[in-house]
Chain A
Amino acid sequence: MLRRVITLAAVAIVSLVAISRLNAQSAWPTADSYVSADTDAANWILPARSYTGNRYLAHADITTANVSTLKKAWATNIDARGPLETSPIAWNGTVYVTSSHNDVYALDAKTGAIKWHYAYKPHVIAFSANRGVAIGNGKVYEGTLDGHLIALDATTGRVAWNVVAAHDTTNTFYTMQPVPYKNMLLLGASNGDWGGIGYLSAFDAATGKRLWDWKTIPGPGEAGHNTWSGDSWKRGGAAIWSGIAIDTTSSTLYADAGNPQPDFLGTIRKGANLYSNSMVALDISGATPKLKWYHQFIPHDTHDWDPAMPPVLFSGSVGGTTRSLVAAGDKGGNFWVLDAGTGDVVYHLAVSTQKGQDTEPNRKGDIACPNTNGGVEFNGGSYLPETNAFYVPSVDQCGQWTSPGTATYVSGQFYLGGAFPKLIGPSSGYMSAVDIGTGKFLWRKHLAFPQIGGALSLSSGVVFTGGVNGDFTAYDAKTGSVLWHSATNQTIQAPPGSYSAGGKQYVIVASGPAGINFADPRFAKGAPTLEGTYSHATKATITAFALP
């Protein structure tokens, strides 16, 4: 007994030391710590590390010289009912992740041991997916598949509050990772294939009370309303569902609004259909957002080619001049670089095969490339200042669309005016490095499988990404040569992250079943990976890697 008391005392002392070392850092991130999140080497507290949306680490122990020795540090299995898309949040020795069905896990950052697990049982409208949690005020926040916003006690996993956040829970759900900003949680709704109108909301982080909504489709009397024929705007879609970026100095929020609806039938929504398939820059300094500018990537889209990539703000050199830029990517296969101040296009280039983009789906069926899941997907890519290059994975597929020429809204069902396309021809992917200075490829790799795993770039010149066949790969940022790989044997459609614990840098990624959109017929036969073969994954795993 005496020995136990002594051990406890020792633990207490260690804890005190740990707390004092944290010094001014409070128990939970403050509004200021979010703003300077990119300088905090130990923690990862925003979806894409900082408000810029750029998964970039300025200080890294992992380098081109030692990355080949990277080893699996721990792996923890979680609920595997659907694909994992979670972007891990790491804070003070705990990693917070989610499963496809909104289960939330707090894991020990050094061992992967489950500290607590919160199980939620949402009604699933169409796709089960979740991109992760936000933390703050001793709470863990999650948007759910049944349109709720929930807050859990971050140390116990118990529910602090649970509010119905979506306006119409029959056709709206949340997959986006909430973004803490000042006293708010910013969250976009997924309703853009189910007959809703897109909106981005701000909730009071303390209570879940709605502070504002910004709707993506202009109503009667508003500028841009005349880009919709008749009443089509009422179910026009344009959901903000993937991610956002914020320039905290100018209080400008950058978001991409998704595809218009009905997805595959343009004849009943004639016009450009603003602000579908557009990047919008919103002034969020006031009580409600105000539109500063917009740029529409694909007007009057009829193939569900929304700009799925979350915006990435960066300062890059174009033709020898340093400029404030914002990058975007769409499922139509384009990678875009815009002027962050004006929205003017600096340039764009095709990162996937493009064909037949001007034809509309009809009764016979039209073939176009990319497929609906093609092009740049929802994890986007990353900018590395050291090479002045942008690293962006993409999908290379073509599809055949058909539309019967009519669309019927049925509550809680797809509102498509046709069917999702059938895959035509081969399915592959690219990992591309775009030289920001010239707008041309620095290098690119054509890979056997779709690439949607986003990118994490390190100042040391290493870029991590994952493929749907489970290959988790480290590339040399300058040359594109593969420096290291690990076969997770599960589909990777979650972005890589990083944190430090116990003085050691970890790289972390989620992998799991392929889900609906990225199931590949080749998986059934055993698909090739860099280390063997992959077959349909049945488990879902969070894996952390570290140097020995």
Chain B
Amino acid sequence: MRTIALRLACVLVLALLAPVQAAPDDHAGAIAALADVRAAVAEIVRIENGYAVGHGAYVRAAHRAMNALVGRRDDGYVSSFGDPGDGIGTLGHLDTMLDQEASWRWTPAIEGAKANVLAAAENLQSALGQKEMEEYEADLTRALANLALVVGRPSQDGVLGGISGALGNTTLGVPAGAASVSGCALPAHAPAYGVVAQRLVYVALPRHAASAAIPAELSIGRVVVRDDDIVLYTRGGADATAACRGATRLQRTRAVAATPATPPYTAAQAHDGIAIYKHSCIQCHGADLQGTAGPAVAGTEFLATAKTNKWTLADLRATVFENMPFSDPGSLTPKQYAAVTAFLLASNCYPAGTAPFPQSASGRLAAVKLGPVAGAKPANSKLGTCAAK
């Protein structure tokens, strides 16, 4: 067992240090998504700043902006108005990026961008139904505010960074086929992208071509000029240095056992979940969680099924938050949903921790695979369930 833990530690160290390349078309997808947003913004700005006369021009502008955002596969797309975007739409690109098993450092930012695209689309839809010019403009202004968040800022990592932040600070900024090296050291050759723990630390460019090749979505924190190349460090580079140090320490000592990704939840959440389960779930899933009219939700049978079907914590979350309670989905608050999910995790013998189960969707949950819990000591050995307290 000890050997396995050590091996896992090594794997983790390698995983942290090895440059992780996003799926090849994610970078291109993000760039295209950004272009579609900008096309939509241009349509809105043009009509707001112009002097169009007549209802038709306003309707047309809102429709064209909508088309660029949602893409032709969406119901909101009306082809007769034309599309200033590429037809796939920001939403189409973002959905493709999010529709994958792997979860990346940039996933939360893209999820946030998607939520803002949907909000902008709602506002455009609302604008189309307005009769008063003032109301129309107010809706368009709200849509613009949403779109500003979709574009985001290269200087900001995480959800607030939007698409630009993800391009400028994470591996999403690395084009398909580009050389990607460890960001913990300067590169041997340029061009190269330095990454660590899925952060984009620097972009190294040959000096002769540098001025033309600087990526648009880069917030430069520090520049190192060398003989043949210049190395543009991102603003997030400082964090990366810490990650490099941590990784080195881990590598040196090899003593810290790596733990596989475990579900986040607190004991207090699980406790709160007991009452919610009894009120909203017990009727179909049973007092022993083995299912009555519905399926088992904890214990040996549930975890075996979860393993066979390759369920992740994100799948569990989606089912609980979006489809349950069966007769009234969406009727609990996010806090209640998080609590009852914590209760299920506790009942499945996952250990409680300090990080709470998130109330909003998080890309990280897709990395947590569900299955029998190693070292679990079920309170009910026959059913394989633990008791939430």
Contact = CB atoms under 8 A, between A and B. Distances in A.
Interface of A: 81-83, 100, 123-129, 170, 267-268, 360, 362-364, 402, 404-406, 408, 410-414, 416, 419-420, 422-423, 513-517, 519, 536
Interface string B292-317: 11111000010001001111000100
Given A267-B73, A410-B309, A419 B322 contact: yes
9 contacts: A124-B295, A126-B295, A128-B291, A129-B293, A411-B309, A416-B323, A422-B329, A423-B328, A536-B283
Given A413-B315, A420-B326, 13 more contacts: A83-B293, A100-B293, A127-B294, A129-B293, A364-B122, A404-B322, A408-B99, A411-B310, A412-B308, A422-B328, A515-B293, A519-B284, A536-B283
Contacts of B75: 267, 360, 362
B74 A405 contact: yes
A516 B327 contact: yes
B293 A422 contact: no
B184 to A, nearest CB: 36
A516 B293 contact: yes
A29 B5 CA distance: 63
B319 interface: yes
B330 interface: yes
B48 interface: no
Contact of A127 (B122, B293, B296): B293
B330 A402 contact: yes
Contact of A268 (B73, B295, B322): B73
A267 B74 contact: yes
Contacts of A420: 323, 326-327, 329
Nearest to A124: B295
A410 B366 CA distance: 12
Contacts, number: 97
Contacts of B25: none
B22 to A, nearest CB: 20
Between B122, B318, B319, B327, the greatest number of chain A beta carbons within 10 A of the residue's beta carbon is seen for: B327
Contacts of A125: 295
Nearest to B321: A419
Nearest to A410: B315
A123 B305 contact: yes
Nearest to A128: B293
B363 to A, nearest CB: 13
Interface in B97-128: 99, 118, 122
B135 interface: no
A114 B74 CA distance: 57
B239 interface: no
Contacts of A363: 118, 122
Contact of A519 (B296, B301, B327, B330): B327
Nearest to B328: A422
Nearest to A401: B329
B294 A124 contact: yes
B294 A126 contact: yes
B156 interface: no
Nearest to B295: A124
B311 A412 contact: yes
A189 B315 CA distance: 24
A413 B73 CA distance: 25
A125 B297 CA distance: 11
B305 A412 contact: yes
B308 A170 contact: yes
Contacts of B74: 267, 405
B138 to A, nearest CB: 19
The 6 A-B pairs with the shortest beta carbon distances in the complex, nearest first, are A419-B329, A515-B293, A412-B309, A411-B309, A82-B293, A124-B295
Nearest to A406: B95
A170 B315 CA distance: 15
Contacts of A513: 292-293
A516 B319 contact: no
B331 interface: yes
Given A123-B305, A513-B293, A410 B311 contact: yes
Between A83, A125, A170, A405, the greatest number of chain B beta carbons within 10 A of the residue's beta carbon is seen for: A405
A508 B75 CA distance: 50
B312 to A, nearest CB: 9
A521 to B, nearest CB: 9
A410 B322 CA distance: 14
Interface in B72-101: 73-75, 91, 95, 99
B316 to A, nearest CB: 9
A420 B323 CA distance: 7
Contacts of A268: 73
Contact of A419 (B91, B291, B294, B323): B323
Nearest to B324: A419
Contacts of B286: 81
B291 A124 contact: yes
Nearest to A360: B75
Contacts of B73: 267-268
A519 B283 contact: yes
Nearest to A371: B327
A218 B75 CA distance: 25
Contacts of A82: 292-293
Given A267-B75, A516-B327, A128 B292 contact: yes
Contacts of A129: 293
A404 B118 CA distance: 10
A186 to B, nearest CB: 27
B330 A419 contact: yes
B311 A128 contact: no
A182 B75 CA distance: 49
A129 B118 CA distance: 39
Contacts of B293: 81-83, 100, 127-129, 513-516
A514 B295 CA distance: 15
Contact of A516 (B122, B311, B326): B326
Contacts of B318: 408, 410
A419 B91 CA distance: 21
A361 B78 CA distance: 18
B323 A414 contact: yes
A423 B326 CA distance: 11
Contacts of A408: 99, 318
Interface in B316-355: 318-319, 322-323, 326-331
Nearest to B322: A419
A523 to B, nearest CB: 10
Nearest to B291: A124
A405 B122 CA distance: 13
Contacts of B283: 519, 536
A528 to B, nearest CB: 21
B319 A414 contact: yes
Contacts of A406: 95, 99
A81 B292 contact: yes
B307 to A, nearest CB: 11
Contacts of B99: 406, 408
Contacts of A416: 323
A17 to B, nearest CB: 46
A129 to B, nearest CB: 8
Nearest to A169: B308
A364 B327 CA distance: 18
A239 to B, nearest CB: 18
Contacts of B330: 402, 419, 422
A416 B326 CA distance: 12
Nearest to A129: B293
Given A410-B311, A411-B309, A416-B323, A422 B331 contact: yes
A411 B101 CA distance: 13
Contacts of B323: 414, 416, 419-420
Nearest to B311: A410
Nearest to A538: B292
A414 B283 CA distance: 19
A127 B291 CA distance: 9
B284 A516 contact: yes
A170 B293 CA distance: 18
A331 B264 CA distance: 41
A128 B285 CA distance: 11
A423 B327 contact: yes
